[in-house]
Chain A
Amino acid sequence: MDYGNQYSTTSYGAGGGQNGGGFMPGSQSDSAAGQKGKYGKDTLRPVTVKQLLDAHHPYPDAEHFMIDDQETTQVTFVGQVRNISQQTTNVTYKVDDGTGVVEVKVWVDSEVMNEDGQDPKKVTEQAYVRVFGRLKVFGNKRHVGANVIRPIRDFNEISYHLLEATVVHLQATRGAPGDAKAATNGASNTNGMSATAAAQLAGITPSARKVYECLRNSPQTNEGLHMQDIALQVNMDISAVMKAGDELSGVGAIYTTIDDHTWAIMDM
């Protein structure tokens, strides 16, 4: 399926989100680009229901949720329908995937556009379904507003989805398989980092890791790099670079030089 390509680029948060189109990298100060940028930052992640129940808004009124410290808007998951409740404005399904139960609401007016295969009548109780939608919170209750809910076609889709959700979760928390092969104890690292540096960096987020890599690999004076240069090189927002810098100086990987926003790698 097409969406399978998306997750491998979106697993790096900001960098991947900008591939969505319509959001120009470099126009960091431009919040007027918000209207177009709103869809440019959409990501689609395979998740487990437990991840949905654990997800939270980074700040109130945010459009997106944080799952594994990554911004998440659209999600997909596979589960078994426990209950179907027809209401005036929507059909509410209770879906259980073995990790938790969540309500999925399909709004009635969108039924009009359903093609074959998305036919809600084909979704029956105890059937396994694939859901695509957005996580929404109402007070302290959460549910998924679904765009698509359809029966699965092959029972292997369940195993496939759970393994995919695991891979994406691991990529988000530990980095892609290439640079975190021994992520279990962070002892050695195929990027040739020293053992102590890798141990320090074992628990940092992917964006902090990118900033660190940039600092490590770019030509610079002994004063290090200014965070704006880093932002341009790694294609991230200034605010994300600042956050990453805070994290890195928190673990003692970098230090400030001529001013608060110029950093150098701490290597002894």
Chain B
Amino acid sequence: MSESTPRITAQYLEQFSHQTVRLLGKVRQLRGEQATIDAGGNVSIYLNRDSHLQLNHAVEIIGKVQNDLSVRVMACTDFGPENEIDFVAAEAVVDATHRYREIFYEKDT
């Protein structure tokens, strides 16, 4: 019943394999249907038709973590040029999400 999409960074990918998560990262590479974002580490993402990413923008991805630790994108939101986003705060949010998970998501695994 959990509709939550915990926020993670690259290091948590393995822990959340096969789950739907949120990542906030900087767009580093665009290659057609595939892209690479930097979310505390490089993450390969597979886009769907609605995604329009821009290089060096910050983007929030909602997607499912695959076996090979890439993410299949379900939805994405452009957060604007990457220098406008405070990534230190964003990393603190990810840290808080897992440290105090009782207010963020149900740990059912």
How many of chain A's residues have a CB under 8 angstroms from any CB in B?
23
Cβ contacts under 8 Å, B5 to chain A: 96, 98
User: Contacts A155-B58, A166-B96; is A51 near B89 (CB within 8 Å)?
Assistant: no
Give the segment of B26-34, B37-45, B72-80 that binds chain A: B72-80
Inter-chain CA distance A99–B77, complex, in Å, is 17
A145-172 interface mask toward B, CB cutoff 8 Å, 1 = contact, 0 = none?
A: 0000000001110011011011001100
Interchain CB contact under 8 A, B100 and A98: no
In Å, the complex CA distance between A31 and B100 comes to: 38
Chain A residues lying within 8 Å of B10, measured Cβ to Cβ, are none
Give the bracket for the number of chain B residues in contact with chain A. 20 to 34
A160→B22 CA distance, assembly (Å) = 16
A98-B4, A98-B7, A100-B3 are known contacts. Are A166 and B100 too (CB-CB below 8 A)? Answer: yes
Q: Which residues of B contact A169 (CB under 8 A)?
A: 100, 103
A227 to B27, CA, bound (A): 61
User: A99-B4, A155-B79, A166-B96 known; A50 and B103 CB under 8 Å?
Assistant: yes
A166 partner residues in chain B, CB cutoff 8 A: 96, 100, 103
Quote the shortest CB–CB distance from A95 to chain B (angstroms).
12
Select the residue from A47, A50, A169 with max chain B CB neighbours within 10 A.
A50
- Give which listed residue, B77, B86, B103, B106, contacts A156 with CB less than 8 A: B86
- Asked whether A99 lies within 8 Å of B104 as measured between CB atoms, the reply is yes
CB distance from B94 to the nearest CB of A (A): 10
